[in-house]
Amino acid sequence: MGQSHPPFRSGRRHRLVGGIRRWITAAAGALLLTGGLVAASPQASAAALTQVASFGSNPGNLSMYTYAPDGLSSGAPLVIALHGCTQSASDYYSHSGWSKYADLYDFALVFPQTNSSNNSNSCFNWYQSGDSTRGQGEALSIKQMVDTAVAEYGSDTSRVYITGLSAGGAMTANMLAAYPDVFAGGAIDSGLPADCATSLSAAYTCMYSPPSKTAAQWGDLVRAAAPSGTTSWPRVAIWYGTSDTTVVPANGTDLRDQWTDVWGIGQTASSTESLSGGTTLSTYDDSSGRPAVELYAVSGMNHGLAVDPGSGTAQCGSTGTYYLDTICSSYYTARFWGLDGDSGGGQGSGTLPAPTGVTVTGTTDTTASLNWNAVADAASYNVYRGGTKVGTSTSVSYTDTGLTSGTSYGYTVAAVDSSGKAGTASAAVTATTTGYSATCYTASNYAHVAAGRAYQSGGYTYATGSGQSMGLYNTFITHTLKETASGYYVVADSGCSA
């Protein structure tokens, strides 16, 4: 979808509609690539972005580029990364930070690339059924890239993941819905719900004023796209900026509703926490206590991919058009998928059982202390907050520090064997730090925005933090908002107790 083609820019509606028409109908020449990419067979040398000349019938007319670290292990994971409009494989490779974590965590990357003969602004055709349906067009080309990379690198077929920005994010959602048997997880950055649009007019509606659907209706779109009888679903991370005027923040909430409904886990977060870059993470655990869906709301960020240039482990990428300096989304996504050596919140490749008796033994304004029962043959224990490993303990207790007051956090613990492999994660427990008292506010949408409890985008109002839709931006619509953590508001019209 496109970050820089006309329908994704803010501005007057007639300019947006005209831009979309040009986007869909114009036919440009061949896409020019930069960055010294090398055309080669899948056997080309690693540690460079390399074009793969042939990868199947390629009905979507895409190009395939790969990056494999030197010394890539057999059975390593595989990540597919989809660029946004006007971008290229080289551009996404250079800015997104994914190659840093491929080197650090030992996995291969595939960068599919569309072109201006497919779409005048080099967008993936996420809104066209012929390109986003299982077994057709661009979707099938991407699946053929997966098959080619798996065969070349010996990738673990149970650990294949897909991510994308904007139009690439929308296509990512469609691929997760169409191929839940292929992808173990996905990350949708500034994107839209799966199968939100199947036409030009619907594409515009979805981007700027998403249709009102229940969580079950959003989930039905995924179930309809997936193979009949599917019962196992990918784990999904959702990233959006609260000030995005190109793909409005309500799409983030709709994505949350869609994938939590598919998982059957409801739309109430298991835990929320504050991260760097003004980011709020809401985690939705499955029945075993593992994070199934994560929603990252980056306060004040407009349309783009969240990056954080620097040399730290949690820093990545470089700034540029639609690469915004806030937080390294690729790092947190990699951790959520378990690419750092743990699989999605502690379900690692080890055989040790889950610790039992995990309890919260105490909290302060900024700390939470845990205790659990020992596991035989455990060399140590990994502690996870919201699915991300926050520490290791050689005893059966741990204190997490640097937390936000009055905030709930979800924790799991996994035993680690002598070879460093984490076993099954424990059931989740919730710790709530002290020092914050929830407050309720009832006012018009206009007044909420004026007070900073909500923000407006394109004439619509959204709750600060949660991004929940509140309707038109005016003085005639009234809602009750509950501040559940500092600067984080949820709609509480059905009842609000401070």
Catalytic sites, residue numbers = 166
Helix (H, G, I), strand (E, B) or coil at 370: strand
Q: What are 410's two structure tokens?
A: 């979800």
Question: What is the DSSP track for 136-198?
Answer: SHHHHHHHHHHHHHHHHHT--TTSEEEEEETHHHHHHHHHHHH-TTT-SEEEEES---TT--S
Q: How far apart are CA 323 and CA 337, in angstroms?
A: 22
Q: How many residues does the chain have?
A: 498
Q: How far apart are CA 332 and CA 237, in angstroms?
A: 9
Q: What are 471's two structure tokens?
A: 């309707």
Q: Which one, of 318, 301, 320, 292, lies nearest residue 240 by Cα? A: 301
Contact 153, 68 (CB under 8 A): yes
Which residues are 291's β-sheet partners?
285
Contact 323, 305 (CB under 8 A): yes
Which residues of 6-131 form beta strands (DSSP E)? 38-40, 50-52, 63-67, 78-82, 108-113
Which residues are 461's β-sheet partners?
456, 471
Dmax of the chain from CA atoms?
Answer: 67
Which residues of 312-402 form beta strands (DSSP E)? 323-325, 359-363, 368-371, 380-385, 388-393, 397-400
Q: Which one, of 376, 369, 373, 368, lies nearest residue 358 by Cα? A: 373
Helix 13-25 vs helix 200-208: crossing angle, to nearest 10: 140
The 3-state secondary structure of 235-255 reads EEEEEEECCCCCCCCHHHHHH
* 39 alpha-carbon distance from chain centroid: 31
Q: How far apart are CA 371 and CA 148, in angstroms?
A: 46
Q: What are 192's two structure tokens?
A: 């839209």
Q: Alpha carbon of 177 to those of 220, 222, 246, 295: distances in Å?
A: 10, 5, 23, 18
